[in-house]
Structure 1
Amino acid sequence: MRLDKIKMSVSLLVFTVSLSSCYYKKVDPWDKMIEVYEQIVPPTFPDKNYVITDYYDGKDSLYTKAINQAITECSVQGGGKVIIPKGIYPTAPIRLKSNVNLHLADSAVLKFTTDYNLFDTVRTRLEGIDCYNISPLIYAYEEVNIAITGNGIMDGQADRSNWFCDERIRGVVQKDGKHTNEKTLLYEMKEDSVPFDKRVFSGKSSIRPQFINLYKCKNILLEGFTINRAPFWLIHPLLSENVTIRKVKMQSHGYNNDGCDPESCNNVLIEDCDFDTGDDCIAIKSGRDEDGRFWNIPSENIIVRNCRMKDGHAGVAIGSEVTGGCRNVWVENCRMDSPELDRIIRIKSNAIRGGEVENLFVRNIFVGECKESILGIEMKYWRVEKGPYLPYFHNIYLENIISKKSQYVLHLDGFEDKTQIQDIFIKDCVFDGVGESTINRIIGADNIRFENVKVNGKMYK
C-alpha cells in the first residue's frame, strides 16, 4: 500500500509541475485537458452473459444471493456481463468484483432494502473520515475493471418514513442523556484520534451509507442508469483511478444527497450526466483533517463536461473535505439552472481542514439562474474562524459563462488578515440579473482580473 501511494504521488507531482509550467509558457491549459482525457479509458469485458434469474431459487424474497452469486461466478470465470433483466428485484447490498459489468436492462429496477440487519460491515470513508460502516448499496474494494451500465433504475428507498433519513438525522439519546447521532460520534472519534479499526458502526448503530462506493478500485465505468432515493452520497469513488461516469441520471433529494463525490481520485471523467440533488451535484474531495493528512492524496485530473445541473448546493464543488488537496479540474459545456441551485462553482474548507486547490478551469457554461453566486469560495466553512491549517485556493479561470440571474458574480469569503485566495481570472462572460447593490462580495482575495466581462449590460472593470 505504501509503495502504491508513493508511485501515485510521484506521478501526480510530475503532471502538476508540467501543468503549472504551462502558465509561464503560454500553453493552453485546455490542451492539457485533452491529454488527461486520452488517458481515461473505460474497461472492456468478455462477451459472456450471466443472467441473475438463472441463479434465483425462488425461496427468498430478495435477489441478493442470486445477484452476488452471478457476480462471483462471472469474475471467477474471467469476467463478462451480469444482467439484471426487465422487472423489479428487491435486494440487500451488492458486492461488485473484478472484470464484471453489472448491466441493468431497460425497465429493470433494483430496489434496495432498508433493513440494516441485512447489511455487512465494510471499511469505507464517510465525509472524509476513515471508518467501518454498514455496506453501501453497491460496494467494491480493491477491484479492477468494473462497471455498472444499462438504462435501468436503482432505488435506495430512502425517505422520511424509514431510518435511512429521519432516525439517523434526529439522533439517538445516549445513556448519559446526551442527544447525538452516530455521525457525530464518528466526528468525536476522529477528534480523539481513535484508531481507524476501532471506528466501527454496524446494525442499528450504523451511519447512513453511500449508494455506490468504489474504494481503491481501478478502471471503472458507470453509464446509463438512474439513481433515486439515496440514503447518503449517490456515487463515491474513493482512492480510485481511471473512472468514467457517463449518462447517469442522479435524482435524489434526501439529506447529504451529493450526486457524485470523487475523493482522492486520479483521472476521472464525468460527462453527459443529469443532476437533481439535495446537496452538491458534484463535490470533489480528498479527506478530512488528520485522516486526510495521513493519506495526503489529492483528487487530480478531473473533467466535467456536457452535464446538466438543477437543484443542489453547487453545480461543481471542491471540498469541504479537501485536506489532501485538489488540482487540475476542468468544467465545460454544462447547463446549470434552478432557483434551488445555490452556486455554480464552489470551493470550501476551513483552517482545521486546510488543503490546497489549484488549477481550476471553467468555460462555456450557461446559467439560467442560481440563488447566490457564480463562484463561491468559503475559507471559514461551518463558521470555523481560526486554526493551524490555512487552506489556499489559486489559479481559477472562468471563461465564456452566460448567466441570466444570480445574487453575486463572486462571493469570496476568505480571511480578513490574509490573502489565501489568489489569481482568479474571469474572461468573456456575461452576467445579467445580478444584485444591483453588491455585484461581488470579496474578503481576503488578491489578483482578481476581469477581461471583456459584462454585468447587467455594462462592461465591468
Structure 2
Amino acid sequence: MISNKALTLRSIVLFSAVTILILSCGKQVSSVSETSPWKKMDLIIKSIPQTSFLNKDYSITDFGAVADGKTMNTEAFVKAIKACAENGGGRVVVPNGKFLTGAIHLESNVNLHLEDNAEILFSINPKDYPIVHTSWEGTEVMNYSPLIYAKNKTNVAITGKGTLNGQANSSNWWVWSGGKSYGWQKGIPSQNDPSNREVLVDMAEKGVPVSERVFGEGRYLRPSFVEFFECNTVLIKDVTIINAPFWILHPLKSNNIIIDGVTVNSHGPNNDGCDPEYSQNIIIKNCTFNTGDDCIAIKAGRDADGRRVAIPSKNIIVQNCKMIDGHGGVVIGSEISAGVNNVFVEDCIMDSPNLDRVIRIKTNSKRGGVIEDVFVRNLEVGTVKECVLKLNMFYNVYGAQTGNFIPVIRNINLENINVKNGGKYSVWAEGYKESPVENITLKNVVIHKVDSIYKLKNVKNINFINTYINEKKVEPIKN
C-alpha cells in the first residue's frame, strides 16, 4: 500500500513535471510564432471557410433580361436574385451577351455567375444607384450604392469568366475626380468642391452619426465597383473587371474572403484594384492588376472614423499575383487609422515602368495607426519607377496632414526578392524621432540598376542579410 505521504510526494513531482512541460510547450509555440510567420499564414489559410451553393441555376433571361446592351435589366437581376435566395440559393446565371443594368444587390447563398462571353454593362446614370450605407476613402457615408453590393450577407459569390464593365470614362464618373487628365475642366463640379469630400471628413471628425451623413446627388462622390459590407464567407473568382468609377474590389468590415483568378484592368482615378478595409482573413491569389492607382491597398479607416470603428485589417494574404501599372504593388494605407497587421505576400510578379513602388506603407500623424508584421518573399520584379520598399509616416497627398496621432511601423520583412530595374531607391523609410520605423529586414534580396541604396530618416534596426544592390553586398548598418 502506498502511504499518503508517498502519494503527496508523487503528486508534487507530477504537478511539477506537467508545469515544466506546459511552460516548455508555451515557449515552443511562441518560438514558432516568432520565427515561422509563414506557418502562421498556412494556419490562416486552413481556417478560412469555403462557399457552397445548391446545384440550382436561375438565368436572368428567364426573368426578362435582354442581351442587347441597351435594355435596362435591373429588375430582371432583382427578380432572379430574389427567387434564388428564397429557394435556398444557387447560381444566378448571366448568359453570353451584353446586359445593361443599374446596381446589383446580392443575397446570402447566391452565386452571381457569368458565362465566358457574358458582359454586365453598368449604367452611367447616378440615379440607377440608390443611397446605401457604404464608405468613401475610409469614411462611412450614405452614398451611391456600389455597382455590386452586399450587406450583412453570408455565403455569397461572383464567379465565371465573363466581364464586369463599369463603363466609366472621362465623360462620366471619372470627371468627378476633379483631375484634368480625366476630363475635368474649370466650372465642372467635382468631389473636390468645398461642400463635398471635406464636408464628409469634417462630419466624421465631429462625430456626426453615419445615418446623417447623407450624400449622393450633387456631392460627386463616386461609388465603389464591388463592395461586400459586413459579409462573411465570400468568393470572387475568375471575372474580369474593367472601367471602374472608383475603388474596384472593396471588402468592408468583412471576414473570410477569397479573391481568386480575377483580372482587373482599369486606369481611372482612384482605381485601386483591391481595398480590404476593416477586414480579416482575406486571400488574394492568382490575380492580375493593371490599375490607375494602387494594385492592392489594405485599408483601416480614415482619421477619427477609423478610430471610432477600431477594427484592424489583418491576416491578409497575397499569392501568385501579377502587378502591372499602379502607384504600388502591395500597399498599406493611407486610410489606416485602425491599424494593419499580419500581411503575407509571396510568389508575385511585378513589372512596369508605370509601377511606382513594390511594397509601400503610407500614413501620417493625422491617420496614426499601428502597422506591423508584414512578410514578403519570392518576388520577381522587372521595372519599378521609384523604389522597392517605401515606408512613409509623412504622407500628404491632399496638403497638410498632421495631427497628434503618431503612427507606428515595425517588423517589415523582405526575403528572396529579385529586381532588375530598381528605380530611385531600394529602401526609402522615414519615421518620427519618437516613433522610428523599426525592424526592417532584407534577406537574400538582389536589386539591380537603382540610383541610391537607401534613404533613411529615424529608422531603428534595419538589417541587410546576404543582400546585393548594384552588384555589391550591402554592409550592416550600425543602429
Q: TM-score, normalised by structure 2?
A: 0.88
Assess if the C-alpha contact under 8 Å between 1:173 and 1:180 holds in 2: no
SS of the residue corresponding to residue 453 of structure 2 reads coil
Deviation at 1:345, TM superposition (A): 0.4
1:325-340 alignment to 2 at 5 Å?
325-340=339-354
Q: Secondary structure at the match of 2:43?
A: helix
Q: Relative to 1, partners in 2 of residues 1:99 and 1:168: Cα closer, same or farther, differing over 3 Å? A: same
Return the letter of the residue paired with 1:142: N
State whether residues 22 and 28 of structure 1, in contact with CA within 8 Å, keep that contact through their aligned partners in structure 2.
no
Are 2:436 and 1:420 aligned?
Answer: yes
TM-aligned CA distance change 1:108 to 1:412, over 3 Å:
same
Would the aligned equivalents of 2:441 and 2:464 in 1 still touch at CA under 8 Å? yes
> CA 1:73–1:206 in structure 2 vs 1: closer, same or farther (change >3 Å)?
farther
2 CA distance for matches of 1:138 and 1:445?
42
Deviations 1:136-171 (A, max 9, x none): 000000000000000000110110011x01134259
Say if 1:328 and 1:41 are closer, same or farther in 2 by CA, change over 3 A. same
CA contact (8 A) 1:168 1:181 kept: no
The answer to whether the Cα contact below 8 Å between 2:430 and 2:437 also exists between their aligned partners in 1 is no
d(CA) in 1 for partners of 2:91 and 2:33?
47
What does residue range 98-109 of structure 1 map to in structure 2 within 5 Å?
Answer: 98-109=108-119
Query: Structure 1 residues 377-386 or 335-344, which shifts more?
Result: 377-386
Aligned to 1:7: none
The one-letter code of the counterpart of 1:348 is: K
User: Is the 2:430–2:436 contact (alpha carbons within 8 Å) kept by the matching residues of 1?
Assistant: no
Partner of 1:274: 288
**2:406 match:** 390
Letter of the structure 2 residue corresponding to residue 41 of structure 1: P
Distance 1:240 1:208 in 2: 21
Q: Shift in Å at residue 185 of structure 1?
A: 2.8
**Mean Cα displacement is larger for which, 383-392 or 286-295?**
383-392
Q: Structure 1 residues 268, 26: CA separation in 2 closer, same or farther (over 3 Å shift)?
A: closer
Measure the CA separation in 2 of the matches of 1:159 and 1:191.
32
Q: Which moved more, 1:239-248 or 1:164-173?
A: 164-173
Q: Which amino acid aligns with 1:159?
A: N
**Does residue 447 in structure 1 map to residue 461 in structure 2?**
yes
| Equivalent residue runs for 1:20-419 within 5 Å | 22=30, 27-56=35-64, 61-162=71-172, 164-169=173-178, 170=184, 179-180=193-194, 182-382=196-396, 384=400, 386-406=402-422, 407-415=424-432, 417-419=433-435
Q: Distance in 2 between matches of 1:22 and 1:429?
A: 27
Tell me the number of residue pairs that the alignment of Structure 1 and Structure 2 aligns: 438
Query: Is the Cα–Cα contact under 8 Å of residues 235 and 261 in structure 1 kept in the other structure?
Result: yes
Tell which deviates more after alignment, 376-385 or 95-104.
376-385
Q: Which amino acid aligns with 1:104?
A: L
Q: Report the Cα distance in structure 1 between the residues aligned to 2:81 and 2:34, rounded to whole angstroms.
A: 49
Please tell me whether the aligned partners of residues 111 and 154 of structure 1 are also in contact (alpha carbons under 8 angstroms).
yes
Q: Deviations over 1:99-146 (max 9, x none)?
A: 000000011000000111121100011111011001000000000000
How far is 1:197 from its partner?
1.5
Cα deviation, residue 181, structure 1: 6.1
**Structure 1 counterpart of 2:471:** 457
Instruction: Tell whether the 8 Å contact from 1:22 to 1:29 is kept in structure 2 after alignment.
Output: no
1:420 deviation in Å?
2.8
Q: Aligned partner of 1:129: which letter? A: T
Is the contact between residue 366 and residue 401 of structure 2 (CA under 8 Å) also seen in structure 1? Answer: no
Displacement, 1:401?
A: 0.2
**C-alpha distance 399-47 of structure 1, shift in aligned 2 (>3 A):** same
**Greater Cα shift, 19-28 or 211-220:** 19-28
Residue of structure 1 equivalent to 2:445: 429
Amino acid of the residue matched to residue 45 of structure 2?
Y
Q: In structure 2, how many angstroms separate the alpha carbons of the residues matched to 1:405 and 1:418? A: 34
Q: Please state how far the C-alpha of 1:395 moved relative to its aligned partner.
A: 0.8
Contact residue 406 and residue 435 of structure 2 kept, 8 A: no
1:340-365 deviation per Cα after TM superposition (whole angstroms, max 9, x unaligned): 10100000111011000111000000
Alpha-carbon distance between aligned partners in 2 of 1:21 and 1:405, rounded to the nearest angstrom: 40
Distance in 2, matches of 1:324 and 1:190, equals 15
Give 1:26 deviation, angstroms.
5.3
Q: Distance in 2 between matches of 1:83 and 1:57?
A: 11
The 2-side partners of 1:300 and 1:353 are apart by 17
Identity level (%) = 43
Deviations 1:305-352 (A, max 9, x none): 100000001000011111111111100000000111010000011101
Aligned partner letter, 1:395: N
What's the CA shift for 1:23? Answer: 5.6
Shift of 1:196: 1.6
Deviation at 1:290, TM superposition (A): 1.0
- Bigger drift between 324-333 and 200-209 goes to 200-209
How far, CA to CA, are the matches of 1:19 and 1:311 in structure 2? 44
Work out the CA distance in 1 between the residues paired with 2:27 and 2:133: 34
Tell me if the contact between 1:230 and 1:252 (Cα under 8 Å) persists in the aligned partners.
yes
Q: CA deviation at 1:61?
A: 1.9
Distance in 1, matches of 2:408 and 2:92, equals 45
The 2-side partners of 1:20 and 1:61 are apart by 63
Q: TM-score, normalised by structure 1?
A: 0.91
CA deviations 1:201-229 (Å, max 9, x no partner) are: 12343410000011000000000000000
Stretch of structure 1 that moved more, 186-195 or 60-69? 186-195
Letter in 2 for 1:149: T
